[in-house]
Amino acid sequence: MEEFKRKISESAGMRWAILILVGFVLSVNYYFYDAFSTLKDLLMSEFNYSNTDYGLFISFYSIPNTFLLMAVLGGIILDRYGIRRTGFSFVFFMAFGALLTAYGASDYYREGGFAHALFSSFLTGYSPELKMMLLGRFFFGLGAETSIVVVSKILVKWFKGKDLALAFGLKVGFGRLGTFAALQLSPRLAESAQLSTAIWFAAVLVLAGLLAFMVYMLLDIRYDREVAQTAEPEKKDAFKISDIGKILSNPAYLYIALLCVTFYSAVFPFLAFAPDLFLNKFGMSSVQSGEITSLLPLGTLIFTPLFGFLIDRYGKAATAMIFGSSILLLIHLNFAFTDLPPHIPMILMGISFSLVPAAMWPTMVRLVEDKQIGTAYGLMYSIQNLGLFAFPILSGAILDITNPGNPEVLNYMPTMLMFAGLGFLGVVFAVLLKVEDKRKGFGVDLAMNRK
């Protein structure tokens, strides 16, 4: 406690406490995003959604970051106006969107509550419940991606040169903890109570995340005051809009961003459909499917911090990205062509989904200047969201096209081949990144604790 009073900016304990605090914000973000993957059948039966409607609902999260470039704008705002103002604004949007989504699924709204008549008056081919939930998903996505960018910059601020890759690994672990909890709890809440209860629970967690960020703001104010009092004044080069061109003209940055979009598009959209795949291909219940799917975030929760620790000390980040992308490709080919039980493949996918993020996110600090970090992460998340928008819709459309009528068991092979193609592209971009790093000497494969 005495160390906290004297030197918050130099306290190792406070750094890890900050990580736990913002990690909670990240966990509830991922919980809400993934809470619906095990509710697909209930959404389709209770709200009469089609596979395409469900894919649209999943994809609506990415619209503000894909078409409005909000993750990019959020990164620019972050670099210009700082962590606290940017973080509070976007975590607030995230909580507002979660509450709107839950309201759209509530009995009160469905029975003619506030705005039901308005949402029934346009685009009558879509239900008022779907339209309200799409609006909520939009606002949630508007805040969620930039809030992840904010968390990334918080970690760079507190951990640069001090176990940064481990901190990013634990950050990823917190996100996967949210996913794991959603896959475990969401179907149980829906079955033991009702669908709207599961959705409201997820929304209230996001609201708690807003409160946690407000606590972080108080600690961050103290950090900045202390640094201002003890450090020598330093003239900082301000971020300029022209810096975006500098970032995008770096081939290594483009390769890592393209790896990001292909790799994550082969994982997150897959997770949204994985419980349904296991139900159709292996005859599992929604609870069993959720449990199997949750093996992935459970694996990443364990392995990502470990891989981050190793990359801090021994490097080889580019090699880790190549290896992790290759594992992902093989797993999707396995689901497409074999009937092997999904338990081990999902654990292996968890290892893949640990290797690549543990190496990819901290590597960014080697490719851009400090003043560009928020914008660089924002650009990367916007590029990522191109895939997170397109591929859930495409996955749902492929399922509807390749399974005409109402078959008792859906054929998922074409969908899995699409995910395998994304995995292959991820391998290609990871190899190109390693080649470019050797050519330009960015130090991607060096230990992260090496200054």
What is residue 91's predicted lDDT score, i.e. its pLDDT? 95
**One-character DSSP codes across 308-370:** HHHHHHH--HHHHHHHHHHHHHHHHHHHHH----SHHHHHHHHHHHHHHHHHHHHHHHHHS-G
Mean pLDDT on 81-96: 91
More confident residue, 381 or 83: 83
What is residue 72's predicted lDDT score, i.e. its pLDDT? 75
What is residue 238's predicted lDDT score, i.e. its pLDDT? 57
Total residues found in the chain within this entry: 451
Q: Which of 5-9, 259-263, 314-318 has the lowest mean pLDDT?
A: 5-9
What is residue 236's predicted lDDT score, i.e. its pLDDT? 54
Query: Which pLDDT tens digit goes with each residue over 17-49?
Result: 899 999 999 999 999 988 888 787 788 888 888
Q: Say which CATH class 13-229+240-440 falls into.
A: mainly alpha
Mean pLDDT on 83-110: 91
pLDDT at 448 over 80: no
Query: Which pLDDT tens digit goes with each residue over 147-165?
Result: 988 998 898 888 877 777 7
For residue 196, count CB atoms less than 10 angstroms from its CB and return exposed for 0-12, middle for 13-18, buried for 19 or more: buried
What is residue 102's predicted lDDT score, i.e. its pLDDT? 92
Rounded CA-CA distance 392/415 in Å is 10
Query: Which pLDDT tens digit goes with each residue over 330-384?
Result: 999 999 999 888 888 988 998 898 899 888 888 887 888 777 777 888 788 778 8
The tally of CA atoms less than 13 A away on the side-chain side of residue 45 is: 6
Mean pLDDT on 321-336: 94
CA-to-CA separations, 142 to 68, 79, 134, 440, 442, in angstroms, rounded:
9, 18, 12, 36, 33
pLDDT at 166 over 90: no
428 is written with which tokens? Answer: 């290609």
Return the closest-CA partner of residue 172 out of 148, 156, 154, 153. 148
What is residue 8's predicted lDDT score, i.e. its pLDDT? 67
Contact by Cβ (8 Å): 153, 3: no
What is residue 241's predicted lDDT score, i.e. its pLDDT? 67
What is residue 9's predicted lDDT score, i.e. its pLDDT? 58
Rounded CA-CA distance 258/242 in Å is 21
- The phi and psi torsions of 315 (rounded to 5 degrees) equal 80, -140
- Looking only at Cα atoms, what is the longest distance across the chain? 71
Cα angle 41, 141, 201 (rounded to 5 degrees) comes to: 55
pLDDT at 10 over 50: yes
Q: Which of 127-141, 173-187, 259-273 has the lowest mean pLDDT?
A: 173-187
What is residue 2's predicted lDDT score, i.e. its pLDDT? 45
pLDDT at 412 over 90: no
Query: Which pLDDT tens digit goes with each residue over 48-64?
Result: 888 888 888 888 887 88
pLDDT at 5 over 80: no
Contact by Cβ (8 Å): 289, 279: yes
pLDDT above 70 as % of the chain: 93
CA-to-CA separations, 311 to 164, 350, 433, in angstroms, rounded:
9, 18, 17
What is residue 232's predicted lDDT score, i.e. its pLDDT? 54
Instruction: Give CA 69 to chain center in angstroms.
Output: 16
